[in-house]
Amino acid sequence: MAKKNQWKPGNMIYPLPAVLVSCGRVPEEYNLFTVAWTGTLCTNPPMCYISVRPERHSYGIIEKNREFVINLTTKELAYATDWCGVKSGRDCRKFEEMGLTPAPAGVVAAPIVDEAPVSIECRVKEIVPLGSHHMFVADVVNILADDRYLDPVSGVFDLAKAEPLVYLHGAYYGLGGKIGKFGWSVEKKKR
Protein backbone atom coordinates (compact mmCIF):
# COMPACT_ATOMS: atom_id res chain seq x y z
CA MET A 1 0.00 0.00 0.00
CA ALA A 2 1.33 3.45 -0.94
CA LYS A 3 2.27 5.79 1.89
CA LYS A 4 0.06 8.91 1.90
CA ASN A 5 0.78 12.23 3.63
CA GLN A 6 -2.04 14.12 5.26
CA TRP A 7 -2.18 17.82 4.36
CA LYS A 8 -4.44 20.64 5.50
CA PRO A 9 -7.55 21.08 3.33
CA GLY A 10 -6.85 22.94 0.11
CA ASN A 11 -7.37 22.89 -3.63
CA MET A 12 -5.54 20.05 -5.35
CA ILE A 13 -7.79 19.50 -8.35
CA TYR A 14 -5.26 19.85 -11.15
CA PRO A 15 -4.61 20.43 -14.00
CA LEU A 16 -6.98 23.27 -14.76
CA PRO A 17 -7.41 25.33 -17.90
CA ALA A 18 -5.50 28.62 -17.81
CA VAL A 19 -7.89 31.02 -19.55
CA LEU A 20 -7.90 34.68 -20.42
CA VAL A 21 -11.16 36.30 -19.37
CA SER A 22 -12.06 39.45 -21.27
CA CYS A 23 -14.58 41.99 -20.09
CA GLY A 24 -15.82 45.54 -20.63
CA ARG A 25 -18.46 47.15 -22.83
CA VAL A 26 -16.36 49.87 -24.50
CA PRO A 27 -12.69 49.94 -25.55
CA GLU A 28 -11.75 52.29 -22.70
CA GLU A 29 -13.07 49.68 -20.24
CA TYR A 30 -11.72 46.52 -21.92
CA ASN A 31 -9.61 44.31 -19.69
CA LEU A 32 -8.11 40.84 -19.62
CA PHE A 33 -7.16 38.70 -16.68
CA THR A 34 -6.02 35.15 -16.17
CA VAL A 35 -8.25 32.64 -14.40
CA ALA A 36 -7.68 29.00 -13.51
CA TRP A 37 -10.75 28.65 -11.29
CA THR A 38 -13.17 28.00 -14.14
CA GLY A 39 -15.21 25.13 -15.45
CA THR A 40 -18.41 23.62 -16.74
CA LEU A 41 -21.52 23.61 -14.56
CA CYS A 42 -24.23 22.25 -16.83
CA THR A 43 -24.72 20.95 -20.37
CA ASN A 44 -28.38 21.82 -20.87
CA PRO A 45 -28.69 24.74 -20.50
CA PRO A 46 -24.99 25.38 -21.12
CA MET A 47 -23.50 27.04 -18.05
CA CYS A 48 -20.02 27.67 -16.71
CA TYR A 49 -18.33 29.67 -13.99
CA ILE A 50 -15.30 31.71 -13.09
CA SER A 51 -14.23 32.41 -9.52
CA VAL A 52 -12.68 35.83 -8.96
CA ARG A 53 -11.31 37.69 -5.96
CA PRO A 54 -13.47 40.81 -5.33
CA GLU A 55 -10.36 43.02 -5.19
CA ARG A 56 -9.42 42.20 -8.80
CA HIS A 57 -9.90 45.12 -11.21
CA SER A 58 -12.09 43.05 -13.55
CA TYR A 59 -14.44 41.98 -10.75
CA GLY A 60 -16.23 45.36 -10.75
CA ILE A 61 -16.38 45.47 -14.55
CA ILE A 62 -18.05 42.06 -14.71
CA GLU A 63 -20.32 42.80 -11.74
CA LYS A 64 -21.53 45.99 -13.45
CA ASN A 65 -21.87 44.67 -17.03
CA ARG A 66 -22.98 41.12 -16.12
CA GLU A 67 -21.02 39.51 -18.97
CA PHE A 68 -17.56 38.25 -19.87
CA VAL A 69 -15.76 35.99 -22.35
CA ILE A 70 -13.67 32.93 -21.46
CA ASN A 71 -10.87 32.71 -24.05
CA LEU A 72 -9.03 29.41 -24.13
CA THR A 73 -5.26 29.77 -24.24
CA THR A 74 -2.46 27.99 -26.05
CA LYS A 75 1.26 27.39 -25.84
CA GLU A 76 1.64 30.42 -28.13
CA LEU A 77 -0.35 32.56 -25.66
CA ALA A 78 1.50 31.31 -22.54
CA TYR A 79 3.55 34.47 -21.92
CA ALA A 80 0.52 36.77 -22.31
CA THR A 81 -1.56 34.45 -20.12
CA ASP A 82 0.92 34.67 -17.27
CA TRP A 83 1.51 38.42 -17.73
CA CYS A 84 -2.23 39.20 -17.68
CA GLY A 85 -2.48 37.28 -14.40
CA VAL A 86 0.19 39.25 -12.56
CA LYS A 87 -0.45 42.76 -13.92
CA SER A 88 -3.49 44.83 -13.01
CA GLY A 89 -5.76 46.48 -15.53
CA ARG A 90 -5.80 49.46 -13.17
CA ASP A 91 -2.21 50.16 -14.23
CA CYS A 92 -1.99 49.09 -17.89
CA ARG A 93 -3.85 48.32 -21.10
CA LYS A 94 -3.34 44.56 -21.35
CA PHE A 95 -4.59 44.00 -24.90
CA GLU A 96 -2.18 46.64 -26.23
CA GLU A 97 0.81 45.71 -24.07
CA MET A 98 0.57 42.02 -24.99
CA GLY A 99 -0.16 42.66 -28.68
CA LEU A 100 -3.51 40.90 -28.45
CA THR A 101 -6.51 41.84 -30.58
CA PRO A 102 -9.84 42.72 -28.96
CA ALA A 103 -12.41 41.60 -31.53
CA PRO A 104 -16.20 41.83 -31.43
CA ALA A 105 -18.03 38.96 -29.81
CA GLY A 106 -21.09 37.50 -31.50
CA VAL A 107 -23.62 38.20 -28.73
CA VAL A 108 -22.11 39.99 -25.72
CA ALA A 109 -20.52 43.46 -25.66
CA ALA A 110 -17.30 42.21 -24.04
CA PRO A 111 -14.54 41.62 -26.59
CA ILE A 112 -13.01 38.28 -27.48
CA VAL A 113 -9.27 37.66 -27.77
CA ASP A 114 -8.96 37.16 -31.52
CA GLU A 115 -5.84 35.00 -31.11
CA ALA A 116 -7.66 32.47 -28.86
CA PRO A 117 -8.80 29.19 -30.48
CA VAL A 118 -12.13 29.29 -28.64
CA SER A 119 -14.03 32.18 -27.05
CA ILE A 120 -16.98 31.35 -24.79
CA GLU A 121 -19.40 34.25 -24.42
CA CYS A 122 -21.09 34.36 -21.02
CA ARG A 123 -23.88 36.26 -19.27
CA VAL A 124 -23.83 36.33 -15.48
CA LYS A 125 -26.78 34.54 -13.95
CA GLU A 126 -25.71 34.77 -10.32
CA ILE A 127 -22.78 35.92 -8.18
CA VAL A 128 -22.11 33.57 -5.26
CA PRO A 129 -19.86 34.95 -2.48
CA LEU A 130 -17.75 32.01 -1.26
CA GLY A 131 -14.92 33.53 0.80
CA SER A 132 -11.65 34.59 -0.86
CA HIS A 133 -13.36 34.25 -4.27
CA HIS A 134 -16.84 34.94 -5.58
CA MET A 135 -18.23 32.62 -8.24
CA PHE A 136 -19.78 34.17 -11.34
CA VAL A 137 -22.30 31.54 -12.48
CA ALA A 138 -23.01 32.23 -16.14
CA ASP A 139 -25.11 31.12 -19.08
CA VAL A 140 -23.07 30.37 -22.21
CA VAL A 141 -24.77 32.48 -24.89
CA ASN A 142 -22.39 31.92 -27.81
CA ILE A 143 -19.12 30.26 -28.79
CA LEU A 144 -16.67 31.45 -31.42
CA ALA A 145 -14.20 28.83 -32.66
CA ASP A 146 -11.18 29.42 -34.90
CA ASP A 147 -11.57 27.79 -38.33
CA ARG A 148 -7.87 26.83 -38.30
CA TYR A 149 -8.76 23.89 -36.03
CA LEU A 150 -11.81 22.73 -38.01
CA ASP A 151 -11.28 19.79 -40.36
CA PRO A 152 -12.79 20.91 -43.68
CA VAL A 153 -13.77 17.36 -44.65
CA SER A 154 -15.18 15.90 -41.42
CA GLY A 155 -16.24 19.16 -39.77
CA VAL A 156 -14.59 17.98 -36.52
CA PHE A 157 -13.05 20.68 -34.32
CA ASP A 158 -9.59 19.58 -33.11
CA LEU A 159 -8.67 21.79 -30.14
CA ALA A 160 -5.60 19.64 -29.42
CA LYS A 161 -3.96 21.10 -32.56
CA ALA A 162 -4.06 24.53 -30.86
CA GLU A 163 -1.79 23.19 -28.08
CA PRO A 164 -4.02 24.18 -25.11
CA LEU A 165 -2.41 25.56 -21.99
CA VAL A 166 -3.12 24.13 -18.54
CA TYR A 167 -2.19 25.27 -15.03
CA LEU A 168 -0.78 22.74 -12.61
CA HIS A 169 0.10 23.74 -9.05
CA GLY A 170 1.75 27.07 -9.89
CA ALA A 171 3.09 26.23 -13.37
CA TYR A 172 1.87 26.19 -16.97
CA TYR A 173 2.02 23.08 -19.15
CA GLY A 174 0.97 21.87 -22.56
CA LEU A 175 -0.92 18.65 -23.06
CA GLY A 176 0.81 15.32 -23.50
CA GLY A 177 -0.14 12.74 -26.11
CA LYS A 178 -3.60 11.28 -26.45
CA ILE A 179 -4.17 8.22 -24.24
CA GLY A 180 -7.70 7.29 -25.28
CA LYS A 181 -11.11 8.74 -26.04
CA PHE A 182 -14.37 8.81 -24.15
CA GLY A 183 -15.74 5.27 -23.96
CA TRP A 184 -12.59 3.52 -25.25
CA SER A 185 -12.43 1.34 -22.14
CA VAL A 186 -15.72 -0.36 -22.98
CA GLU A 187 -15.57 -0.45 -26.79
CA LYS A 188 -16.00 -3.82 -28.41
CA LYS A 189 -12.84 -4.95 -30.07
CA LYS A 190 -12.93 -5.33 -33.85
CA ARG A 191 -12.23 -8.88 -34.93
pLDDT at residue 72 greater than cutoff 90: yes
Question: Model-level pTM?
Answer: 0.94
pLDDT confidence of residue 159: 92
Confidence class of residue 12 from pLDDT cuts 50, 70 and 90? confident
Distance CA 23, CA 68 (A): 5
Summarised one tens digit per residue, pLDDT across range 89-101 is: 999 999 999 999 9
Distance CA 117, CA 72 (A): 6
**Helix (H), strand (E) counts: the chain:** 3, 12
Distance CA 38, CA 30 (A): 20
Give mean pLDDT, residues 26-32. 97
Which domains are assigned to the chain?
A: 16-186 (2.30.110.10)
